[in-house]
Chains A and B, each alone.
Chain A
Amino acid sequence: MIRLPLALFFSAVLFSSGVYGVLARRNAVMVLMSIELMLNAVNVNLIAFSQRLHDVTGQVFALFVIAVAAAEVGIGLAIVILIYRNRETINVDEVNLLKW
């Protein structure tokens, strides 16, 4: 017996703090973490709705999101490490050879 808005607010908080992290953090890994927060927010929504609607699809969706998230993290870290090897830094705001 849980109010739906409560769940949604929670996800909203997660989402927006994720947004903040993505925009404010220099360290690429931290940025990735923040993105994970946002994805979790999505999942919270999905689960909440699926239970609200008594429909399993939401949970399935959530599982897929988690899987994809894992993949993304793998890719992301790979690229980060690659950059680190070439540039000795993973500060996103220093990665700006390409501009204009």
Chain B
Amino acid sequence: MVAAAEAALSNPGFLRYTWVIALLPLVSATLILFFGKRTPGKGPIYGILALAAGFVMSVAVLWHFVTGGAPYSSSVTWFEVGTFRLELGQYVDGLTAVMVTMVTAISLCIHVYSIGYMQGDKRYTWFFVVLSLFTGAMLNVVVTDNLFQLLVGWEIMGICSYLLIGHWWEEHANSSAAIKAFITTKTGDIPFLFGIFTLVFATGFATTNIQQIGEMASRGEVSTVLLTAGALLLFGGSIGKSAQFPLHVWLPDAMAGPTPVSAQIHAATMVAAGVYLVARTFSVFVHANPIALHVVAAIGGVTLVIAALLALVQDDIKKVLAYSTISQLAYMMAALGLGEAGYAAGMFHLFTHAFFKALLFLAAGSVIHAVHSNNMSEMGGLRKPMPRTFWTYLIGSLALAGVPPLSGFFSKDELIHAAYKAHDYPIMITLLAGAVITAFYTTRMVMLTFFGDYRGHGHPHESPAVMTGPLAALAGATVVVGFLGFAPTKAPFLDWVFFEHPEAAEVSVLVVGLSILVAGTGILVAYALYRRYRERDPLTALGPVYSLLEHKYYLDDIYWKGIVLPIRDKASAFANWTSQVILDGVVNGAARVARALSGLVNGFDRNVLDGAVNGVAQTAGFTGGLLRYIQSGNVQRYAAFLFTGVVILAIVFTRF
């Protein structure tokens, strides 16, 4: 029986159906859209069932690799343009398996959680439609084997984020945040699109298949220039989606959406996609000119620090988490920037981070649910009224801070170790610095939220089981998944997810020591500063630096005042003006000329055409003009013209 099941699972043929995992949420989305309102519980059930099924399947898929199965890929023709063929396909390897498992699991939790959180929302059903669609799009990105299909899922995620962030669109701020998110990511998508073109072009329109492109790249059949260009352009997409500097500005605003959405965006979908894209197309980066990876690393390093710093000064609990996400993603980017060395570590961090960040967001959501405010200045001392939330939150925070033996610790440790192993000390130092700051703001957040006295209004109380349940599940996961990368357990994760060839897990005492040290320092310093709550945040002591951080380095202002407004108001006005006045002026000018001529000939304007063609101006100036003189009604004058005509014609045409 069990054997049979095992046989069924270990049979690679099972992978043939991986795509179903990606399809299920799309189906459920459609079902909710059309039948949601008519089903008891108003619809989420479809999404939950779909994801549950998906989760089971993905575990099965993962099992295949746990048992050391080989990757599998298949595709069918989608359509042909000219001789250029586009395909629908799937590529399933360890990475895919891990991702689908992670996504389905977390998304499932979020769905369940949302039932409670969104209870009574006026667009309850619609919310789940988009949520399912969102998940489906992400899974599509994960499962696909070619760039165009990936692009489709990629952009659908974009619109879903738009819809979810703007879910409460009655508030102008929310809809603005939604637009900001979409436009900013879209700005990244355009380079991404061109990157796809470049790669497709590089293969001579032979294929859009990522693996094939990778192989061609590794076989050196593609010009390095094109590869480099392609890689960088693709990375542009990641920058947008994974909210890396300088396109990170949308993510904090995205907090405008309901909290589950934030969790979805930050853990399961959206931002993960950016990192995943780089990982998926890693061979392109690797075989391109090193500059490509350097750029990735550099962007990662920069973002890592600046985002972490911003997290320091936030009062909005979700904003803290948002910036922490940006900086954690930057960790992964930096790692990937290290090349093969950082690949596995980066993915591992992506994996673990998803769990504890989802956990943190949902927990934060539960807090917000209780106190009806995002601001930590209106929280405090919540550990008593809402213990479950507190403990889960604490686990998540410690993981984020990188405290052993929680997942965050292992993944971060591996990152640093990777940098160390690659002798890329600048990156290593950046990572360590980031770790300090991370530990610091995490602690600050926890202290402000759960310790001290309650500063808010009303009496906060624990959230319902439907919300805390998922918290518990995620907390458990957060504790467990770390060991997948734990060297003593031979880090199975590294056997599932690797680039080209798996690498053995090593432990460097130095690195472990360092990471524990930095985490510890951060925590202790923060604890010292925030043990007692102060009205004025201690960090304000930083002075100008503090205000710089408060203003987010003025980046938003620069973008808004320097790009958006000039285009939205000035350039557009100019375009409209030229169209109305210049171009249309020429057209009407022609009419005006004709009219003027006829006015000249006719001698005066009878207003016959008034208003019919606005360009036709009143040509009163010609009163008493030609026609008046010629068509004077005096027949002898006619005769005179007649003879003059003859004479002139005679002279002109007989003499010349």
Q: Which residues of A contact B (CB under 8 A)?
A: 19, 22-23, 26, 31, 92-93, 95-100
Contacts and interface: CB of A to CB of B under 8 A. Distances in A.
Contacts of B421: none
A22 B636 contact: yes
A100 B602 contact: yes
Interface string B323-336: 00000000000000
Nearest to B637: A93
B634 interface: yes
Contacts of B633: 95-100
A29 to B, nearest CB: 14
A22 B639 contact: yes
- Give the 10 A-B residue pairs with the shortest CB-CB distance, closest first: A96-B633, A99-B633, A93-B634, A100-B631, A96-B634, A23-B640, A92-B636, A98-B633, A22-B639, A92-B635
21 contacts: A19-B643, A22-B636, A23-B636, A23-B639, A23-B640, A23-B643, A26-B636, A31-B636, A92-B634, A92-B635, A96-B632, A96-B634, A97-B633, A98-B633, A99-B631, A99-B632, A100-B602, A100-B603, A100-B627, A100-B628, A100-B633
A36 to B, nearest CB: 15
B609 to A, nearest CB: 16
B601 to A, nearest CB: 10
Given A22-B639, A26-B636, 19 more contacts: A19-B643, A22-B636, A23-B636, A23-B640, A31-B636, A92-B634, A92-B635, A93-B634, A93-B636, A95-B635, A96-B632, A96-B633, A98-B633, A99-B631, A99-B632, A99-B633, A100-B602, A100-B603, A100-B633
Contacts of B635: 92, 95
Contacts of B634: 92-93, 96
Q: Name which of A31, A97, A98, A99 has the most chain B CB atoms within 10 A of its CB.
A: A99
Contacts of A95: 633, 635
B426 to A, nearest CB: 89
A67 to B, nearest CB: 24
Contacts of A97: 633
Interface in B506-530: none
B277 to A, nearest CB: 77
Contacts of A19: 643
Contacts of B636: 22-23, 26, 31, 92-93
Interface string B616-656: 00000000000110011111100110010000000000000
B627 to A, nearest CB: 6
Interface in B589-614: 602-603
B379 to A, nearest CB: 88
Interface string B243-279: 0000000000000000000000000000000000000
Nearest to A95: B635
A97 B627 CA distance: 15
Contacts of A22: 636, 639
Contacts of A31: 636
A72 B628 CA distance: 30
Q: Name which of A23, A26, A96, A100 has the most chain B CB atoms within 10 A of its CB.
A: A100
Contacts of B628: 99-100
Nearest to B640: A23
Contacts of A93: 634, 636
Contacts of B627: 100
Q: Name which of A23, A26, A98 has the most chain B CB atoms within 10 A of its CB.
A: A23
A68 to B, nearest CB: 19
Contacts of B639: 22-23
